[in-house]
Structure 1
Amino acid sequence: MENQQKKSLHPRNKHNQNYDFNALITVAPELEKYVGINKFGNQSIDFAHPDAVRALNKALLKHFYQIDYYELPKTNLCPPIPGRADYIHHLADIIAKGINGTLPTGSGIKILDIGTGANCIYPILGHQIYGWTFVGTEIDKPAKVTAEKIIQENKLTNAISIRLQESKRNIFRNIMQPNEKFDAVLCNPPFHNSREEATKGTTRKLKNLGKTIEGKPVLNFGGQNNELWCEGGEKTFITNMIYESVHFRTQVKYFTTLVSKKENLKPLFTVLKKVQANYELVEMEQGNKVSRILVWRFL
């Protein structure tokens, strides 16, 4: 069982094998108290327990990506590392298509991350795996401060910077400088359209993990309002993103975003046709979860 490949992660993903908890505990001893034997007889953690997920993430970042400092407020989203790394690897493949299949590496590749969050996970992974340079955007000032502390403590200030988006109406405006160019935009949008819907989603997730629910469920990956939901949900957010991208068509080679809800694809395709963008869909499977990267560009 130890070398069983995880279902359909990207071939270059370092997390294709089962977690080696002994190796992870060596670099992050605080993980040990959360590790036990699951019903299959394997070492694991309780993925419904936010502190356990947090400890695992810190261990993974230290072991695989040389990130020594990774402290987040308990209220902030603590993202699962393998799935976030998958987006980065697929993004590398998308960019490679435009450069004769050559894998894009080095600081010359510049990425704009919309809604970086306090966790700053995509810039960290993109830089540590491929050496890319990142500009992150954030509307929440405390989240920006937390992300910048992580960047500073890991000596990544030359590679990653965060810009505050002052307006909730805008995505690219007031962020991209005139004549500034990016190889790609990435985004993991808030996918729920209300706090209630976010809570229902968490309840469903915990039931899938075999947990009984009493009272208000605790988010196993944490998350604040703007990280988990926005008015209109992901469909409205991505629709706005597409319309606004038209004005920055000459500054970005590839616009990309995750789309978690399959039913949102058709209306988003309609918008992309309307603005005359070329688009494609990249599917990602991580265990039982299917996610999609929507890619568009203007030729």
Structure 2
Amino acid sequence: MSLNRFMHPRNIYRTPPDFKELAVTYPEFRRHVKQELSGKISLDFQDPAALRALSKTLLHKDFDLEVDLPSDRLIPALPQRLNYILWVEDLLEIVKEDSASDVLEGVDIGTGASCIIPLIACRKNKWKFVATEVDAESISLAQKNVDNNGLKDSIQIIQTESGCVLKEVVEEVGKNFDFCFCNPPFFRDQWEANPEGKSRTPNRPPPISANSASDVEKVTEGGEVEFVRKMIQDSLALGTQVRVYTTMLGKKKSLKIIKNELRKQKVEQFTTTEFCQGRTMRWGVAWTFMKGVDIKKAPTMKHEKPKPPLIYIIPNELKETEYSLSEILSKIKGLMEELKITYQVTHEGKHSVHISLHANENTWSHQRRKKRKLIHKQKLANSKEEKIQHITNAPISEHSKQETLGSSSLLTAGNNQDSGEIKTKSKTEEYTKKICEKDNDSYTVEDSKNLFSKDLNGCKTHMEKEETSYDIPEDQLFTKDKHSFQSSSDVNSVALENTSDSKREEESNFLSQQAAKKQKMESTSSEATDSSGKEGEISTKRPRVGGLDVPGSYLLNCDLQLKKEGNMIILKLLCKDGASGREPMHQVLQFIKNRLK
């Protein structure tokens, strides 16, 4: 699987070079390519001569560099080295100083015969370098490449002793540096360097490209881990004499060891990244002792392994749908339209169908809850309408007369007030006593209407007023008995209406505080639930930057595949690049399971 899409965003090789164009322009490169029957131009990456021709051609075309790459030395991978240089550019933006010179200077530890990093960085960024190397022959070849490109004023090559990493070089030159590069030999011995050695697991495929590196470029005492440990010790002694220290590692297991070593040495400011290109990955580590900077803010290049698909074997006994690929496809299309999920059939064959799905909002979560709320809301509206109609028009029964009397007494209490106390005696008590003294047989519905019409109208007025002022929930307006008001909030509201101004203000403030607390608790609960992804709906909007939608960052972005295998039809959901997660896929699949029965 190609890792090119995980390259640094500024890497020009994110788009692979056009071999046909290169073959037309560069005759030397044309000798190493072949044209297939389809017309495609291909290159044999197992041929060292072909790789060497490709690197030399790209260096000339993209950086105007004439570089000699000997057959017995390492052929540098340009996309990888460019990834490294671009990452160091980002790091220098984090640790830059206002007093720093416009021309940045750095050290390249182990520059190799090609001197590739200093050559590209000098040509691209006008940086200056001190390049170190142990092997005398590699130094001679590197110096030749520097001279041929007119960069001897920008690149100084120094031969160092075995075991010397950085400290001696900085002390010898006698100046501070802005950065350092390091690409140490990966292996500790020839056995480990051998592709058949212990460094390669049996199930790992062989390298896709040839390796012409010499022993001195592949092997060092203790391997890359020991080399970088020495570099860390040198950095502790040098401190801020180098603003940012960086190294590239060839093995993932080395990354964890080096990070633990930095923590052990109390190096607080360090960060890591991945260098992805083609089918090869390397790892970068950087640290600094500069004060007042956060090196972890530097952009990192990370890749994610593809997640396994979600698989569902559709039951072969469906109640409302025929068990065939076409019928199930039609059913799924209907479900997607119901959820307002955009879909596009990208492939439709006899035994398989591929559909691309994406959505910006969550329309599939808590379908049952939404239906229950809708039904409950409709019932409440109907119930309210029936009860109001019943109260205003229907005759009052003997049982409800007594309850209405009690409620009316409560609702009309407090009309008069003495020394802050609500009087208990009122006109309501007087006609209540009169009613109670009457013989039940002589009491008529007409009497009830005459005696209570005024109070019923008053109740209705108070109720409407309190609804507007305090937004009492609908389920508190009426009790199970259709003819009586029994909500404590109603009574308190009426009492509050008739109390003194000071007491009314105090109680109003109390009610406002309680409402605010309730609203805050509901908001907190909702936020906590949303973040958990269990009860509340997950984030329902597509990410935006600067007011614009982020490409490929849909809330749901996946492929749905239907495949007939024997007597079974299998549904698969595969996450695409840029999707915000697998949780939306799980939820959509559950919705399909619930509805596809």
Query: Normalising by the residue count of structure 2, what TM-score does the alignment of the two structures yield?
Result: 0.44
Residue 169 (structure 1) aligned to one of 163, 166, 170: 163
Distance 1:99 1:31, change over 3 A: same
Which position in structure 1 is the counterpart of 2:8?
Answer: 10
CA distance in 2, matches of 1:26, 1:293: 36
C-alpha spacing 1:189/1:40, structure 2 compared with 1 (3 Å): farther
- 1:54 deviates by 0.3
Instruction: Assess, with a 3 A threshold, how the Cα gap between structure 1 residues 26 and 40 changes in structure 2: closer, same or farther.
Output: closer
> Does the alignment pair 1:261 with 2:248?
no
Structure 2: which amino acid aligns with 1:87? Y
Bigger Cα Rg: 2
- Residues 44 and 50 of structure 2 are in contact (CA less than 8 Å); yes or no, is this contact kept in structure 1? yes
The one-letter code sitting in structure 2 at the alignment partner of 1:122 is I
**Structure 1 pair 11/120, CA: closer, same or farther in 2 (3 Å)?**
same
Alignment partner of 2:51 out of 53, 56, 59 = 53
Local SS of the residue matching 2:6: coil
Q: Relative to structure 2, which stretch is displaced further, 35-44 or 288-297?
A: 35-44
Distance 1:73 1:107, change over 3 A: farther
Distance in 2 (CA, whole Å) between partners of 1:225 and 1:111 is: 26
Letter of the aligned partner of 1:57 in structure 2? Answer: S
Give me the TM-score of the superposition, normalised by structure 1: 0.86
Query: C-alpha distance in 2, partners of 1:242/1:38?
Result: 50
1:1-299 alignment to 2 at 5 Å? 6-37=4-35, 42-67=40-65, 69-99=66-96, 108-165=103-160, 167-176=161-170, 177=172, 179-200=174-195, 207-209=206-208, 220-277=210-267, 278-299=269-290
The one-letter code matched in structure 2 to 1:207 is: P
1:72-121 per-position Cα deviation (integer Å, ceiling 9, x unaligned): 32111111111111100111011111239x9x9x9611111000000101
Q: Structure 1 segments of 4 or more deviating over 6 A?
A: 38-41, 201-206
More helix by share: 2
Give the distance between the partners of 1:57 and 1:178, measured in 2 at CA: 32
Percent of paired sites with the same residue: 31
> How much has 1:37 moved relative to structure 2?
4.3
State which drifts further: 54-63 or 75-84.
75-84
CA contact (8 A) 2:3 2:280 kept: no
Structure 2 CA distance for partners of 1:289 and 1:197, relative to 1, 3 Å: same
**Post-superposition shift, 1:178?**
6.1
Q: Matches of 2:50 and 2:260 in 1, distance apart?
A: 42
Q: Helix, strand or coil: the match of 1:7?
A: helix
Amino acid across the alignment from 1:258 = M
| SS of 1:250 mapped into structure 2 | helix
1:216 is matched with none
Are 1:79 and 1:221, in contact at CA under 8 Å, matched by a contact in 2? no
1:203-224 deviation digits (Å, cap 9, x = unpaired): 9698343xxxxxxxxx824111
Q: Is the 8 A contact 1:181 1:252 kept in 2?
A: yes
Bigger relative contact order (CA 8 A; separation at least 6): 1
Corresponding residue pairs, total: 282
**1:105-155 deviations in Å (ceiling 9; x for gaps):** x96111110000001010011112211111100001110010000100111
Asked whether the 8 Å contact 2:167–2:237 carries over to 1, the reply is no
Structure 2 portions without partners, runs of 5+? 291-597
Q: State the shift of 1:26 in Å.
A: 4.6
**Helix, strand or coil at the partner of 2:168:** coil
- Could you say what the CA RMSD is over the residues aligned between the two structures, in angstroms? 2.7
Matched residues in 2 for 1:40 and 1:251: separation? 57
Query: Does the 8 Å CA contact 1:276/1:298 hold for their aligned counterparts?
Result: no
Q: Secondary structure at the match of 1:196?
A: helix
Distance in 2 (alpha carbons) for counterparts of 1:81 and 1:66: 14
Q: What are the ranges of 5 or more consecutive residues in structure 1 without an aligned counterpart?
A: 210-218
CA offsets 1:230-272 (integer angstroms, 9 cap, x no match): 1211111111111122111121001000122121222212221
Shift in Å, 1:196: 2.2
